Amino acid sequence: MNYSKTLNKKHQLVVLLTILISLCMAFSIYGQDFPQNNDMRKSLDFMFEHLDRNSVPKGLLRDYAVEYEDLDLFIGRGPLEDDNIGTVVRFGNLLKTISSSAVKEDPLEGLENSIKNIKRKNNSGELTLGIMLYEYARIKANALTDGLIRYENGQVYNTNKKESPYQSEFVFAGSCLETSTQQSNVTFSLPSALFLTNCKIKNLEIDFGTGFKNINPDKKVNANLKTGINKVIIRATLQDGQILSAHTIIQVENLVSEIQTRAITNKDSLIAHYSTTIQGQNYRGISTSAEVTISYAPGNYSLRKPLIIVEGFDPRVDAATPKGSWNFNRIKRESNIIALNKIYGYDIVYVDWVKSQEYIQANSYTLKSVIEWINSNKIGNETNVIVGHSMGGLIARYALKTMENQGVRHQVSTYVSYDSPHLGAHVPLGVLYAFHGILSFLEGHSVMDALINTFTPANAYIGLGKSMAYSTAAQQMLVHYVDPAGNYNNQEHIQWQNELKTLGFPKGDLGTSFKMLAVSNGSYSQVSVPPYYLQTSFSAGTDIGSTFLPRVLGLAVGIGLNDIVAGLLTVLPGRTSINGSFDIYPAHASGDLVTRIRLQYKKTFLWIVPISKNLFSYDKNYQGGLFYDTYPSSSYALIQDDQGLPITEKDKMGIPLIFDFGYDVKLSPRIPFVPNSSALAYGDGINIIPANFLSPPHGTSSPFGENYYTHSTTRSHSFFTDDALIWMIQRLSTSIVGPKVGTNGAQYSLSNTTGSVTWSSSNTSIATINSSGVLTVNGTGIITLTAKHGGNTYSQMIMVGMPRYILTASHEPGGYEINAECIDNQFKDYLSNLNGVLTYNWGVKYPSREIRWLEADVPSLKIDLRGQNERVIVYLEVIDALGNKSALQHIEINSQDVYVAENQNLYIDAQGVLYKENKTKYLYNSARLYISYRANIPDKYKEREWMATTTMVLKPFSVTSVVDARSGGPLIKNILPQDELDYIKNNSTNNQVYRYTLILLNYSSRAIQFVPVTFTYVTNI
């Protein structure tokens, strides 16, 4: 074969394909070994139960082995081809096969511990070799027919003839355990713990392409390797003169050219001028942080005009890429990012998550801290632009809206959501089930584990798969979720979507201009649904494995869970050892088969007797009525160019991966990921309308209006495309100018443009707009004005007329909540998207106090609980941006007592004895103020938030305390400590009253109810 041609094609393979192969090695972490106590092992133990084990030469019998690799490929005398290259995976498989062939003592006992003691020397220039050479026995092909053994009732018996029933064979393999290096001048070492043999070897040699050199255990050999893939030949000469050969490979990688830079198109580069790490507030006890890198615009030496790029889901699970796949180095050479910096004068601020897989809310709190830090360090009055990619768009949305709700100014004028899953992301259900299925199959441990853990990044890749499938952030975003137990459960996603729906979108700081832009990397062109995502037949295909591809320098940008599942398959035993299928399908209808796994181990005994055992069977069907596999979406592509377009031409892909597993494997070049409707927030993610997936939003149907961009052809979710960035740059400087409250004759224009503009209204029954941008009012409501210029579309939402409200109020822990509910349908669904259009003027009147007026930009108000059974009147006047006012309305509120108290009025005599209200003695140390639910109380007050757990005690003395209120109510001795009791006893006059006020608090320390308690001093009772 043309070995060099094959290897040269491998060098052309982009990082993602390489990852799939490296990832496959992770299989053994969870037990590529079919455990020694499985059915096959038991069958072989039964079959050879009566064999005279002392008669087996070398104590190793191939017929007794569970074969994980085809030993016939590694005899040491055949041609050195792709299918017998010594990789870490194959080397481990061969060792396990030899280990399982031991009929007496295992020759590899203790090897795992020895391997763990060998330090992996990644990129140090020192490479580790493992070499195995074993002589083993095999029952002769004629042993049964010539009567050398008997086979009865499924068991083997010796016949004790003089002729041995065994023939001797060799297995010889070597592996360079570090599959790649960034240095050409290297040193090879062969630790004695990894020189494994039961043969007498006269000489051991190694050839790196410059001729053979002797190599001995624990001795080092220097080599100068070429860039690319190097073939290493190992030759062993036995004492009897036999010469055996094996080979392995090592790749010398160019760190600069091989690192994940598929989007780099410009030799120019941003400079990282400043970096810092910022910690966020806790969310549910979880605190996250972000590494912030800043590249100042030319001429700036401090922050003046920030453009904040917020990365998405990027778990840091690989030591080789400690910053994850997305980081400042990933975007610093993108031409349009450079243009934003050097032409438009933006200071690029990159936000890199340390723990992106945690709650989205937790990272949102961190982004809030980042924005506050930026604003405190910024010089001048420029506003911020924030671009959130993928999950980063959700984080930015949550952070900005939370800051607005808290009254914290974020100073952001433009929010760009780049392919962010506002309504959820989609990993095909079949892929999720397949990942669970393959992990369910991977169990047990073996010698192979130590090799994998020590010499490959397999743990990182399997960890990435688990992050994609099981992390909290993944659960929040994925419309489908299969938990580690294999159960379909998307409750975390539903809860998250409900929270997002309630939260809404940011509107901007009060009184400022604010725009929102959205990008979908999907297309509304016809969706081509593949017949399968993965289809595998283990009974077909070539024996040329792709597992000898070198490991990558880190996790690739754009790797998907489907890639990981496909990669895991490549280290299953070869087709000589396994039958079955592994298939993943898209769903077109409820009940469709989406995952099918059939794995069966096979072995031929005595050359003619077939043995097979079922290893694993797994079928899953689609449930639900939403068929995300068929909806227009961005994608995760198996391999893509620098604009996110999938590459399917085999000559550009390098190795044709789909034929290179050792099985017949067909892999779809991409899977759908973020539906266009999700990226454009077309809907609310809860009340899902299937038709919304199929066509773009118009008018007011999306909070982005028509300020969004979709592609003509589907792109990979992982990329900022040039087309989208150019579109974004145009919209940073161009927008519709005009009043947000529309009136007859109102004038609208398009900033920073020349030439004609085509205007339109989303609802002409409310208002029309002519070619000159002049508005004519026909009704009331909220509409979207659209301007088309130069092939681009711009939109702006405006309000026409004044909405009407009704007031509702409820008693809540801590006080009262008053809501102004809009009763006009043409307004109420869109008011939350308008900024600075309406002001809500609230008036609060407590008993015996003047009205206190409060101005707010939200139609809700919370006021404190101030006393028992108090009557409060709340007024509301709504004012629009033009000064128009609604009629004044009001609502009256009365607090509700949740609890009744017993022992509120107590007595103390001159001896300090405590008495109840009826003047009977009450033992001070056990006395209690009992509280219980009021009779016929509404059910809402029996919920957890109304449960009194502590009590704040307001005293006539200077000290305030908080005491436990559980177990029926607070103890009197905690309300009135001994020193206060003594004071009352010694310093009071007859009938003097001491008034205490107890505030019952819930678990979050919010006030539930005021309870007055009195202690009256009486000289004699």
Domain identity same for 315 and 294: yes
| Pairing label, strands 185-189, 126-139 | parallel
The total number of structural domains in the chain stands at: 6
Residue spans of alpha helices (H) in 680-740: 722-733
Distance separating the N- and C-terminal Cα atoms of the chain: 112
Judge whether 800 lies within some domain: no
- Residue 811 to residue 321: CA distance in whole angstroms: 53
- CATH label of the domain that carries residue 333: 3.40.50.1820
Domain identity same for 496 and 606: yes
Judge whether 26 lies within some domain: no
Domain identity same for 651 and 759: no
Domain identity same for 395 and 481: no
Domain C-terminal end among 212, 234, 257: 257
- Residue 413 to residue 985: CA distance in whole angstroms: 66
Judge whether 743 lies within some domain: yes
Query: Are 749 and 666 spatial neighbours (Cβ–Cβ below 8 Å)?
Result: no
Place of tokens 């020397």: 121
Count of CB atoms situated within 10 Å of the CB of 364:
24
- CATH label of the domain that carries residue 1011: 2.60.40
Domain identity same for 568 and 508: yes
Domain C-terminal end among 257, 289, 309: 257
User: Percentage of residues in the chain with pLDDT exceeding 70?
Assistant: 83
- For the chain, the C-alpha Rg in angstroms (whole number) is 37
The full 3-state SS of 755-818, as one line of letters, equals CCCEEEECCCCCEEECCCCEEEECCCEEEEEEEEECCEEEEEEEEECCCCEEEEEEEECCEEEE
pTM for the model stands at: 0.76
* Helix (H), strand (E) at residue 979: helix 978-987
Q: Is the dihedral of CA 56, 59, 62, 65 positive or negative?
A: positive
- Residue among 344, 444, 397 at smallest CA distance from 41: 444
Confidence class of residue 122 from pLDDT cuts 50, 70 and 90? very low
Judge whether 29 lies within some domain: no
Domain identity same for 769 and 815: no
Question: Does residue 676 have a pLDDT over 90?
Answer: yes
pLDDT of 160-212, one tens digit each? Answer: 888 999 999 999 999 998 878 888 899 999 999 999 999 999 999 999 999 99
Domain identity same for 218 and 270: no
Query: Are 553 and 457 spatial neighbours (Cβ–Cβ below 8 Å)?
Result: no
Judge whether 5 lies within some domain: no
- Residue 392 to residue 976: CA distance in whole angstroms: 54
Domain identity same for 185 and 309: no
Confidence class of residue 70 from pLDDT cuts 50, 70 and 90? confident
- Residue 737 to residue 749: CA distance in whole angstroms: 5
Domain identity same for 373 and 483: no
pLDDT of 221-262, one tens digit each? Answer: 999 999 888 999 999 999 999 999 999 999 887 654 433 333
Domain identity same for 611 and 683: no
Question: Does residue 27 have a pLDDT over 60?
Answer: no
Domain identity same for 668 and 786: no
Question: Does residue 754 have a pLDDT over 50?
Answer: yes
Domain identity same for 857 and 764: no
- Residue 831 to residue 801: CA distance in whole angstroms: 12
- Residue 2 to residue 749: CA distance in whole angstroms: 67
Task: Tally the residues of the chain.
Answer: 1021
Domain C-terminal end among 221, 237, 257: 257
Q: How confident is the model over 419-431, as a mean pLDDT? A: 95
- Residue 916 to residue 552: CA distance in whole angstroms: 80
Q: How confident is the model over 313-339, as a mean pLDDT? A: 83
Query: Are 69 and 603 spatial neighbours (Cβ–Cβ below 8 Å)?
Result: no
Written as one letter, the residue type at 952 is M
Judge whether 852 lies within some domain: yes
- CATH label of the domain that carries residue 217: 2.60.40.10
Q: Can you tell me whether residue 68 is helix, strand or coil? A: coil
Judge whether 28 lies within some domain: no
pLDDT of 535-550, one tens digit each? Answer: 887 654 333 333 333 3
- Residue 909 to residue 603: CA distance in whole angstroms: 95
Q: How confident is the model over 940-946, as a mean pLDDT? A: 91
- Residue 315 belongs to domain spanning: 264-418
Confidence class of residue 111 from pLDDT cuts 50, 70 and 90? confident
Place of tokens 């140090």: 124
- Measured in degrees and rounded to the nearest 5, phi and psi for residue 205 equal -130, 160
Judge whether 424 lies within some domain: no
Phi-psi region of 248 (alpha: psi -120 to 50; beta: other; left: phi over 0): beta
Confidence class of residue 266 from pLDDT cuts 50, 70 and 90? very low
Query: Are 720 and 709 spatial neighbours (Cβ–Cβ below 8 Å)?
Result: no
Vertex 20 angle, CA 14 and 23, to 5°: 130
